[in-house]
A and B are shown apart, each in its own frame.
Chain A
Amino acid sequence: MVLEVSEEDMSWFKRNKEGITTSTKEKKETPEGLWQKCSNCKTLFTVEDLVKNNWVCDRCSNHERIGSEQYFKILFDEGKYTELNEKLTSGDPLNFEDTKKYIDRVKATQKATGLTDAIRTVVGKLDGHDFVVAAMDFSFIGGSLGSVMGEKIARAIDEAIKIKAPFMIVSKSGGARMMEAGFSLMQMAKVSGKLGQLAEAKLPYISFLTDPTTGGVTASFAMLGDLNIAEPEALIAFAGPRVVRETIGRDLPDGFQTSEFVLEHGFLDYIVDRTNLKETLGKSLKFFRK
């Protein structure tokens, strides 16, 4: 698990060096407005068109990596929602310092992203029914799981129980946040305990796995949904591809650790194209109500 965190964290470092996301680099201002290239087939789209198409390329159906805000806009009726505990932010329980102080890393990331941590929790309506959703932001230290993420999810579950609403986590994470060490690890147990309470209240929990979902997130709440659903072609892994390759000493088979692979091995209920997300999810949630 840990090793996967490492890999994802590295890709986060790379990303961070280039700017917040690769898409920022590929954004271009033109007289007609903001344009962006599909990160896969490089077709140029207006951002307006991408938003309309839920950030899916209509040429190659590549799903661009998006953040919590975009998911909320896609999921909720009229794109409206109320955020819970938005001010919650990292402490530095270990006074952690590697090449940089953890606290400075958090501050710099907050400044660069405008986010407080790697997850946002909200309540809104889907098809007219209350729905509590927690969605991660990969741009914030690789969507890593730390105390804030654990506590925000715990409180969101309390809210779901209070208002008797279904609950969903949109996972997009490299795994545990190393700079919170033992605290980070225990968040896996903490959230699992809270999910048990949600189950006792007979409220459905949907785990929605998006690219990438790895490490400690996969080894806890992302795999514990009443329904585990995923976006197409997302990387879903416990140990990341580099680590597995080094372990077995040969190349990995095509499509290894993709959503399609994980579905085929029996760990997902279905894969859903982002353009059909709201409709498909609405249909699933209806079965729990009727």
Chain B
Amino acid sequence: MAIYLDFEEPIKALEEQIEQTKEIGVNTNIDMNDKVQELESKLVETTKSIFANLTPWQRVQMSRHPDRPYTLAYIDAVSNGTFQELHGDRSVKDDKAMVGGFGLLDGRSVMFIGQQKGINTKMRQYRNFGMPNPEGYRKALRLMKLAEKFNKPIVTFIDTPGAFPGLEAEERGQGEAIARNIYEMMRLKVPVICIIIGEGASGGALGIGVGDKVVMLENTWYSVISPESCSSILWRSWDFKEKAAEALKLTSTDMKALKLVDDVIKEPINGAHRAQTEIFETVKNSIKKYLEELDQIEPSKRINERIEKFSSMGVWK
């Protein structure tokens, strides 16, 4: 059964009404087609008006929608089921919050990497809620280096509420692991495309987020802190998350306008999760388009442009 967010309630109500009307038609043999059509056009209008005016906080809610597709779903669709997962950081363990491996994108080998959230209660635990430990970042780097060695492009899917703030994570150098990835990704000789598909929380996101193209799906967020944590720190209360979401300018449109990401990928009107085949197709086409563009550029020039892009970020007087 589909899950509806609070602001989607009018949609839910209309959908239920349509179902009931159809049922009445069937049960009573009265022609309800006109009524159903009227309700359906009302549904289209309501959907449009709700989603045309989402607040930043509502976008954050969308990015966390439990029905939203996660990394493996994208990889599977984009690679047309050819994905072969590769495990482990070759040092400590295999981090289940970070996945990666080769897949074919219309016949071409691509290294796919991303944070993975769980699809149900049990899997959420197993995936550590998409919060990688240092081993996850080191696995990601190992796979990126593997791709670089064999001249295969890299696509990362970002969806994390943050790097895991645990005791072992600290012992094994969470900071160093993320730092190393940022540093190395900046200098990879192959094309790197990073796509924020859900939550892009801070260093945990940036740890697989340095690329030639960094793009956000429409209903995602990317910033230095979550609105909840920002509220608790700057307002000293959890009650200002809506205000914080606004202040942080964390939506795809804001981040694009600030030139902190390169592009926004439009989602189906009511969100990626309501029309998954459509969003998978859109993402696949976007990756192909970006790769075509990046393939034209010499590796050393691509690296310089990558460094230049990030170097130009910042505002000072």
Contact = CB atoms under 8 A, between A and B. Distances in A.
Is chain B a partner of chain A in the same complex?
Answer: yes
A216 B203 contact: yes
Interface stretch (A47-55, A131-139, A161-169, A180-188): A180-188
Contacts of A154: 311
Contact of B165 (A93, A147, A247): A247
B233 A5 contact: yes
Given A186-B310, A216-B224, A9 B202 contact: no
Contact of B183 (A1, A90, A180, A196): A196
A266 B171 CA distance: 9
B186 A238 contact: no
A232 interface: no
Interface string A95-121: 011110000000000000000000000
B201 A223 contact: no
Interface stretch (B5-13, B33-41, B245-253): B245-253
Given A2-B224, A265-B172, A193 B162 contact: no
B46 to A, nearest CB: 32
Given A2-B229, A188-B203, A221-B179, A182 B316 contact: no
A192 B182 contact: yes
Nearest to B240: A98
B310 A189 contact: yes
Contacts of B111: none
Given A91-B317, A154-B311, A190-B313, A219 B174 contact: yes
Interface string A232-260: 00000111000110011000100011000
Contacts of A2: 162, 201-203, 224-226, 229
B233 A223 contact: no
Interface in B121-178: 162-167, 169-176, 178
27 contacts: A1-B163, A1-B178, A1-B204, A90-B316, A91-B316, A94-B258, A96-B247, A146-B314, A147-B316, A178-B233, A181-B249, A182-B260, A183-B314, A187-B313, A189-B310, A192-B182, A193-B306, A193-B307, A194-B311, A196-B307, A219-B182, A223-B173, A238-B163, A239-B166, A244-B165, A265-B171, A267-B173
Interface of B: 162-167, 169-176, 178-180, 182-183, 186-187, 201-204, 206-207, 209-210, 222-226, 229-230, 232-235, 240, 243-244, 247-250, 255, 258, 260, 306-307, 310-311, 313-317
Can you list the 6 inter-chain pairs with the closest CB atoms, starting with the nearest? A239-B165, A147-B314, A218-B175, A91-B315, A98-B234, A238-B175
Interface of A: 1-6, 9-10, 88-94, 96-99, 146-148, 150-151, 154, 176, 178-190, 192-197, 215-216, 218-224, 237-239, 243-244, 247-248, 252, 256-257, 265-267
